């Protein structure tokens, strides 16, 4: 019995030590702060050398040349960032962070609901602010994310959160702004008339018919007097007045066109393509219909054997030249989401101008997610979502974050990886 108690106490002690490494959310900003002397990358393509950025009450009050900053009677806490670079916090536009933790532990997975059609599922209520993954994103300058459900044909609603909060209510930036549609893959024509292929074709057709009926019901429901609310239909009504966006997950060109026309026929006002592997092939169609793209395949192999092996790296620059509004996503792995700035850096190496690459992970993402009035660039009136790096934030060699602020609150940039590095570095130093 004594042995069991000792073991339990040891486990509790080990758990409490591990918990102690999770940074506590920052306190609300109380003192006005000014960052001075650094190079400001606004996020909209502009660069200001020798800049000052001031913020008070969580909002930016000045952003421009340091010589033009006037405190106007307030006492500012001055942070000298000379030789460093000031950026807007980056935004991960399509992520299961806070919904998924350890792939082999079922109790930590809450990113998917059963069934094909779950528009009423709200991913944000399952968002875990205590995830060990979140601090690793902040350490690389990623301060916001859209929390996206997966599974089925209509996975549910997504919300935009900032990545430093006690609970999901505090984290919310924009609630339930998008509905996510996983467009079913086409069944390629072939001479194979096996029952399995026929079954796949039939399942796809049945799913599309059911989805068409569901959207028609929701559109009718929007205009009806309601004795009792239907949560599934109510969650879709925003698609018909533009208050919600339909995020269509599709890569193949024909599927992108098919999905957009399907949604237009149903009366959907605002759409976004997520994935967009063939977006360049249908760029004229997307531009004509004013549909932006969340492009997910920069660090990937080409989709077709005959493609240029560097095509995924070049794609952001080509999308920019085609005149599409796009942002970049990192979907290779959840734990790799911290590498978001470096896929933008890859795009720079293959033709996308550096400041436009920065916009592809900041302001463009904010525009596509509908939060550009609040965040996405370092401009007066916006939230003080700001990162200071010792060097180029898009280069893994120089991305060294010295300061980060969310709504003016100074973040603790410690994360589990840094803690473990320091722990074992000390161990082996002691052994020398």
Distance of CA 84 to the CA centre of its chain: 25
Confidence of residue 22 (pLDDT cuts 50, 70, 90): low
Of 70, 78, 2, 66, give the one whose Cα is nearest residue 33: 78
Q: At what angle do helices 340-349 and 311-321 cross, to 10 degrees?
A: 80
pLDDT of residue 108: 84
Contacts of 236 (CB under 8 A, 6+ apart): 119, 179, 214, 215, 218, 244
Task: Between 157 and 331, name the one with better pLDDT.
Answer: 157
Q: How sure is the predictor about 5, in pLDDT bands with cuts at 50, 70 and 90?
A: very low
Of the chain, the percentage scoring pLDDT greater than 70 comes to 94
Beta bridge partners, 40, equal: 48, 86
Average pLDDT, the chain: 90
Question: Which two tokens mark 421?
Answer: 């590095």
- What is the per-residue pLDDT for 195? 80
Q: Any idea which of 13-22, 33-42, 306-315, 344-353 has the lowest mean pLDDT?
A: 13-22
Name the E strands within 183-292: 245-250, 271-275
Q: What is the per-residue pLDDT for 11?
A: 43
pLDDT digits (tens, 9 = 90+) for 57-82: 999 999 999 999 988 777 889 999 99
Across 20-42, average pLDDT: 89
Strand-pair partners of 86: 40, 388
pLDDT tens digit sequence for 190-242:
666 778 888 888 888 999 999 999 999 999 988 887 778 889 999 999 999 99
| pLDDT on residue 192 | 66
- Asked which of 260-264, 292-296, 417-421 is least confident by mean pLDDT, the reply is 417-421
- Is the Cα torsion angle 56, 61, 67, 70 positive or negative in sign? negative
Q: Which residues of 394-432 are buried (b: 16+ CB within 10 A; e: fewer)?
A: bbeeebebebbbbbbbbbebebeeeeeeeeeeeeeeeee
What's the average model confidence in pLDDT over 7-15?
Answer: 43
- 138-171 per-position pLDDT tens digit: 999 999 999 999 999 999 999 999 999 999 999 9
Q: Residue 14 has what pLDDT? A: 45
Q: Which residue has the higher pLDDT, 190 or 316?
A: 316
Per-residue pLDDT, 19: 41
- Between CA 140 and CA 122 the distance in angstroms is 28
H-type alpha helices, 89-172: 134-138, 168-171
Using DSSP's 3-state secondary structure scheme, residue 110 falls into coil
- With bands split at pLDDT 50, 70 and 90, how would you rate the model's confidence at 6? very low
Residue 415 has pLDDT above 70, yes or no: yes
Give the pLDDT score at 21: 59
What pLDDT is stored for residue 12 in this prediction?
43
Distances (CA, A) of 243 to 103, 218, 240, 246, 398: 34, 14, 8, 10, 40
Q: What is the CA radius of gyration of the chain?
A: 24
How far apart, in whole angstroms, are the C-alpha atoms of residue 384 and residue 406?
Answer: 6
What's the pTM value of the predicted model, to 2 decimals? 0.90
pLDDT tens for each residue of 119-135: 999 999 999 999 999 99
Confidence at 20, pLDDT banded by 50, 70, 90: very low
Q: Considering only CA atoms, which of 358, 378, 374, 354 is closest in space to residue 366?
A: 374
Question: With pLDDT > 90 as the criterion, what percentage of the chain qualifies?
Answer: 74
Nearest to 218 by CA among 181, 163, 175: 181
| Confidence (pLDDT) at 15 | 42
Q: Residues 306, 308, 314, 319: what is their CA dihedral angle, to the nearest 10 degrees?
A: -30
CB-based contact 273:291 (threshold 8 Å): yes
In the chain, the domains with their CATH numbers are 22-89+376-432 (2.30.40.10), 90-184+245-375 (3.20.20.140)
Length of the chain: 432
């Amino acid at each position: 019995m004594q042995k069991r108690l000792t073991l339990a106490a040891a486990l509790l002690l080990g758990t409490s030590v591990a918990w102690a490494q999770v940074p506590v959310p920052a306190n609300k900003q109380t003192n006005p702060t000014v960052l001075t002397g650094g190079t400001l990358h606004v996020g909209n393509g502009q660069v200001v050398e020798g800049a000052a950025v001031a913020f008070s009450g969580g909002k930016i009050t000045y952003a421009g040349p340091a010589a033009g900053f006037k405190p106007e009677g307030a006492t500012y806490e001055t942070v000298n960032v000379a030789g460093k670079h000031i950026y807007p916090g980056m935004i991960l536009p399509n992520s299961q962070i806070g919904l998924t933790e350890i792939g082999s532990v079922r109790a930590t997975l809450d990113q998917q609901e059963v069934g094909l059609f779950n528009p009423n599922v709200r991913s944000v209520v399952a968002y875990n602010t205590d995830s060990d993954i979140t601090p690793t994103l902040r350490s690389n300058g990623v301060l916001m994310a859209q929390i996206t459900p997966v599974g089925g044909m209509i996975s549910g609603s997504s919300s935009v959160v900032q990545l430093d909060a006690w609970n999901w209510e505090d984290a919310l930036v924009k609630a339930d702004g998008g509905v996510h549609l996983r467009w079913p893959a086409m069944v390629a024509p072939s001479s194979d008339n096996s029952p399995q292929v026929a079954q796949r074709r039939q399942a796809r057709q049945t799913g599309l018919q059911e989805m068409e009926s569901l959207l028609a019901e929701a559109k009718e429901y929007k205009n009806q007097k309601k004795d009792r609310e239907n949560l599934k239909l109510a969650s879709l009504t925003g698609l018909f007045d533009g208050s919600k966006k339909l995020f269509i997950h599709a890569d193949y060109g024909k599927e992108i066109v098919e999905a957009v026309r399907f949604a237009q026929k149903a009366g959907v006002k605002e759409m976004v393509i997520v994935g967009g592997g063939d977006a360049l092939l249908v760029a004229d169609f997307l531009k004509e219909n004013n549909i932006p793209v969340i492009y997910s395949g920069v660090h990937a192999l080409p989709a077709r054997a005959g493609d240029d092996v560097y095509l995924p790296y070049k794609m952001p620059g080509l999308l920019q030249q085609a005149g599409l509004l796009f942002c970049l996503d990192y979907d290779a792995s959840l734990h790799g989401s911290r590498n978001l700035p470096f896929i933008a850096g890859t795009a720079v190496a293959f033709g996308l101008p550096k400041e436009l690459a920065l916009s592809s992970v900041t302001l463009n993402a904010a525009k596509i997610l509908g939060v550009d009035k609040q965040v996405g660039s370092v401009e007066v009136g916006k939230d003080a979502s700001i990162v200071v790096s010792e060097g180029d934030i898009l280069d893994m060699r120089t991305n060294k974050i010295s300061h980060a602020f969310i709504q003016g609150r100074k973040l603790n940039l410690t994360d589990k990886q840094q803690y473990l590095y320091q722990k074992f570095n000390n161990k082996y130093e002691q052994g020398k």
